[in-house]
Amino acid sequence: MTSATTLMGLHSLPGPDADDAVLARFLHGLPGVDEVGAEARVAQLATRSIKNESKDWALDMLVRMIDLTTLEGNDTPGKVTSLARKGIRPDPEDPSCPSVAAICVYPDLVADVAAVVAGTDVKVAAVATAFPAGRARMDVKIADTTQAVADGAHEVDMVIDRGAFLSGRYGKVLEEIVAAKQACGDAHLKVILETGELATLDNVRRASVLAMIGGADFIKTSTGKIAPAATRPVTLVMLQAVADWRAATGRMVGVKAAGGIRSSKDGIRYLVLVNETAGEDWLDPDWFRIGASSLLNDVLLQRRRRRSGVYEGPDHLTID
């Protein structure tokens, strides 16, 4: 254990069965986050200028990190299977273009997606636990999760109970994460903090650590259903949390920024943030993801421009 671990308040961690009082003492003992300072840091990193071969690298990495997502009430099997095909082969005119990381859908559509991605490296991710509000009884949430995994989800994106978190019932939040992790079996668990509802960066750090105590494989910013969704200051704090967690426990946890990232330029700013905060170990689809729908086409346009030197219109790309 390094001394930096003591500094960040992670030297003696509560267990997964800790109660509200123990968790409150622990979480409120973590170092605070100065909002102005966090914003200044991300603004400074946003001025990094990524050109030429480093831009090529970044664009390909962005494609590989995308969880291509559709989470609409009117999603159909036809819509999600077409999205899955796009995810496997994003640019039909360029076989060198990598596949996305995963296709992210509602649980009832998992089987349809699983049938398409079978035999490829593309994963199926399901949002579960009464997504997006998380307002359901625990047994309903677990049933939701179990069904998604049974239907072939490799990854489960659960939501935390924000009402419980904000009222200080940390034990309840933790209990649900632990139960969901158990229900996941071999599937990876991404814990959605819904930072837009947590409001402060202090809460973002506390929720990040709480999710990691519960066994999260990934911590994720948002559902995409609440504004603001992913922001760079929030992602900065989460990246610092996972880096501190590895220093304290040796275990690496991934980060997923979801919602609101639409342009390649914005996407590259996230890569810079990862690179200069958590470090290059996280610059990998196994450890950093971006939940997005429209981002992919913008990255594809940029890739084509880098190869041909001309901008093509959006009509040259597929709408899925």
Partner 1 sequence: MSRFTYAPAPQATDVVDIRSSYGLFIDGEFVEATGGHRKTVNPATEQVLAEVSDASPADVVKAVKAARRAQTRIWGPMPGAERAKYLYRIARLIAERSRELAVLETLDNGKPIRESRDADLPLVSAHFFHYAGWADKLGYAGLGPDPRPLGVAGQIIPWNFPLLMAAWKIAPALATGNTVVLKPAETTPLTALHLAEILQQAELPPGVVNIVTGAGATGEALVGADVDKVAFTGSTEVGKAIQRQVAGTRKSLTLELGGKAANIVFDDAPLDQAVEGIVNGIFFNQGHVCCAGSRLLVQENIAEPLVERLQQRLTTLRLGDPMDKNTDIGAINSAEQLQRITDLVAAGEEEGAQRWSPPCDLPEKGYWFPPTVFHGASQAMRIAREEIFGPVLTTLTFRTPEEAIAKANNTPYGLSAGVWTEKASRMLWAASRLRAGVVWSNTFNRFDPTSPFGGYKESGFGREGGRHGLEAYLEGAR
In the complex, the residues that contact partner 1 under the rule CB under 8 A are 2-8, 31-34, 36-38, 40-41, 47-55, 57-58, 61, 237, 240, 271-272, 275-276, 280, 283
Q: How far is the CB of 39 from partner 1 (least distance, A)?
A: 10
61 three-class SS: helix
Q: Which of 114, 191, 206 is nearest to 160 (CA)?
A: 191
In this complex, which beta carbon is closest to partner 1, that of residue 45 or of residue 136?
A: 45
The reply to whether 141 belongs to the active site is no
C-beta of 185: minimal distance to partner 1 in Å? 31
Least distance between partner 1 and beta carbon 117 (Å): 26
Task: Using DSSP bridges, classify how beta strands 155-159 and 188-192 pair: parallel, antiparallel or unpaired.
Answer: parallel
Q: How far apart are the C-alpha atoms of 98 and 115, rounded to whole Å?
A: 20
Is 186 marked active-site? no
Question: Exposed, middle or buried: residue 127 (CB in 10 Å: 0-12, 13-18, 19+)?
Answer: buried
Q: Could you confirm whether 157 is annotated as catalytic?
A: yes
SS3 at position 294: coil
Measured CA distances, 257 to 85, 133, 250 (Å): 23, 18, 23
Tokens at residue 6, please?
Answer: 């003591």
- Annotate 156-192 with b (16+ C-beta within 10 A) or e (fewer): bbbbbbbebbeeebbbbbbbbbbbbbebbeebbbbbb
Catalytic annotation, pick one of 86, 123, 141, 220: 220
Cβ closest to partner 1, residue 158 vs residue 236: 236
* Residue 284 CB, nearest approach to partner 1 (Å): 8
Instruction: Find the catalytic residue in 67, 91, 144, 157.
Output: 157
Active site residues: 157, 220, 256
